[in-house]
Amino acid sequence: MGFKKLLASLGSGGASVETVLTEENVVPGGVVQGEVRIQGGSVDQRIEGLSVGLQARVEVESGDQEYKQDIEFAKVRLGGAFDLREGAVHAVPFGLEMPWETPVTSFAGRHLTGMNIGVTTELAIARAVDSSDLDPVVVHPLPAQQAILDAFGQLGFRFKSADLERGSIRGTRQRLPFYQEIEFYPPEQYRGLNQVELSFVADDREMDVVLEMDKKSGLFSEGSDSFRAFQVGLHDYHGTDWAAYLNQWLSEVGSRRSWF
């Protein structure tokens, strides 16, 4: 069970809030369950709004500068306004649906360094708004995503890093304002290859899998033979040997470029 103290009192003697996550492990398309508990202070107060949302820390490129930005990519309002009496406790259960494009934050039993995704809570009292710190969630791969990740492992690739970038990958079903890149170090047999980057863009039926070798700075280069995008059904991915598929593509491109 995840537990985190969230908000300081709003004003002298004001209410405070805590959020409890029933289960912090989730997959894209799943639901985060929890409860928001508002503790009344030493005075009666009018609660004008309560909401929970999902937030991600994203890299933004602007000219020659790069910086981090917190982006809320889902939000649910929990009921309407109500009066909170002095010392009273008001508990509000919630279920927050995870978008299918939600980035993976953990696989193979490890947290992906650089991933910072979680639930935020927002409380509005008498036109004042206070937001919580992030209450982290652990996003595990969908089975179809796990199959692709496992294939990289079978070929000897090692996880390098992961990040979220503001922008879009052209030609995909992307709807969120950012996308995830998972980077791998290649094994020795792919000498000459610097790295491979992997992105998933899913909906409730299938996902776009985007791969790029030795990515240069700038946008994805669809015209390059080092770029590959293909679709995988979320429920019919079992019939493909993904390790063989990836090895064939890598070998073809590497041979043409005399990388290996």
Mean pLDDT over the full length of the chain: 87
Whether residue 219 is predicted with pLDDT greater than 70 in this model: the reply is no
Nearest to 152 by CA among 206, 225, 106, 211: 211
Spatial distance between the Cα atoms of 211 and 182, rounded to a whole number of angstroms: 10
Strands 138-139 and 25-26: parallel
Range from 8-12, 112-116, 195-199, 248-252 carrying the lowest mean pLDDT:
8-12
pLDDT above 50 for 68: yes
Please give the sequence-ordered ranges of beta strands (E in DSSP) within the chain, or none if there are none: 2-7, 16-21, 25-26, 31-39, 45-62, 65-77, 82-84, 89-97, 106-107, 110-111, 117-125, 128-131, 135-136, 138-139, 158-166, 178-185, 196-202, 206-213, 227-233
pTM for the model? 0.86
Percent of the chain with pLDDT over 70: 86
pLDDT digits (tens, 9 = 90+) for 145-163: 999 999 999 999 999 999 9
Q: Which of 8-12, 27-31, 168-172, 230-234 has the lowest mean pLDDT?
A: 8-12
What's the confidence (pLDDT) of residue 128?
Answer: 67
Q: Which of 14-23, 85-94, 217-226 has the highest mean pLDDT?
A: 85-94
The whole-number pLDDT of residue 11 equals 52
- Mean pLDDT, residues 248-253 taken together: 87
